Amino acid sequence: MYRKYLQKLNLVSMKDDVNYTVGVKQSFYNNMYPFNLFPDKGLLEIEFAPITFFYGGNGSGKTTLLNVLAEKLELTRHSPFNGSSLFQDYVKMCRVQAKPIPENSQILTSDDVFDFLLDTRAINDGINVRRAELMQEYLDNKYAHHQLRSMDEFDEWRKTWEAKTKTQSKYVRSRLMGNVNMRSNGESAMGFFVGHIGENALYLLDEPENSLSIVYQQELAKLILDSARYLGCQFVIASHSPVLLSIPDALIYDLDADPVRTKKWTELDNIRKYFDFFEAHRDEFKAEDE
């Protein structure tokens, strides 16, 4: 059931890139970004699979490519991005080959997850304040002598009655919304992706592994693969997570390579470094197992 809404992206050619920047340099612009970023990498055309990765270090252009796609396809954003004065000009000069993009398609960034975690923490803070208020309210009502004289006093009478017939914890829980503070940052971040990834849509994910432990990265990898296989979703992901990059049949562009080319996840430089590190400590793992 694999689907490909997005098929190809043609970036600005070297000739057009040079001609544009030469003209712009005669004006007041000093920052050419995102011009001059990709021609030297030999990256002019990108074809997409149901799951496509952009891999590379900081400054390699992973996030830039996602933002170009998001702007070109006019996808839903949840947070603003740091473009430049020339970014929209660059986007206009790019070309995409795509089928109609579903309206629920969107770009999900690490900033979105961070904002979600901050909102969750704010809710937790509010819950903690409210819990303290309810604990005091329980004590005030438990030893109060409130008589019901009219229906206008029913709410106050009910608080007194419940305080006398319930334990403090049950009284507080019955009046308090579910406490999301029981969830770790990783669990909350995973909940963010579960809540935003639906069916039949294109999703651009910018370093989604941030805030996720290896266990939750494995869960996210399964969510991505299952959503692509069974729910008609397509993913373009900027990442350097070995767990995510190992998703079967994913197409991986190594933006650190010169020129840029596709690779198997086991051929990527950082992955090889992880492998070499664990190989060097193989005997220690054996000792632990014995």
| pLDDT tens, residue by residue, 217-231 | 999 999 999 999 999
How far is residue 290's CA from residue 288's CA, in Å, rounded to a whole number? 6
| Ranges in the chain annotated CATH 3.40.50 | 6-111+198-289
pLDDT at 180 over 50: no
pLDDT reported for residue 181:
46
How far is residue 226's CA from residue 230's CA, in Å, rounded to a whole number? 6
How far is residue 17's CA from residue 38's CA, in Å, rounded to a whole number? 9
Instruction: Kindly state the average pLDDT of the residues 285-290.
Output: 73
How far is residue 134's CA from residue 247's CA, in Å, rounded to a whole number? 48
pLDDT reported for residue 286:
80
How far is residue 91's CA from residue 70's CA, in Å, rounded to a whole number? 10
192 against 204, higher pLDDT: 204
240, amino acid identity: H
Predicted model pTM: 0.78
How far is residue 61's CA from residue 161's CA, in Å, rounded to a whole number? 64
pLDDT reported for residue 140:
75
How far is residue 192's CA from residue 21's CA, in Å, rounded to a whole number? 40
How far is residue 76's CA from residue 98's CA, in Å, rounded to a whole number? 17
Please tell me the CATH code under which domain 6-111+198-289 is placed: 3.40.50
pLDDT tens, 63-104? 999 999 999 999 999 887 777 788 999 999 999 999 999 999
- If phi over 0 gives left and psi between -120 and 50 gives alpha, with beta otherwise, what is residue 59? left
Cross-strand partners of 279:
none
Q: Are the C-beta atoms of 282 and 86 separated by less than 8 Å?
A: no
- Identify the DSSP state of 100: P
pLDDT tens, 95-148? 999 999 999 999 999 888 877 766 665 555 555 555 666 677 777 776 666 565
Q: What are phi and psi of 287, to 5 degrees?
A: -60, -40
pLDDT reported for residue 136:
75
Instruction: Kindly state the average pLDDT of the residues 248-275.
Output: 95
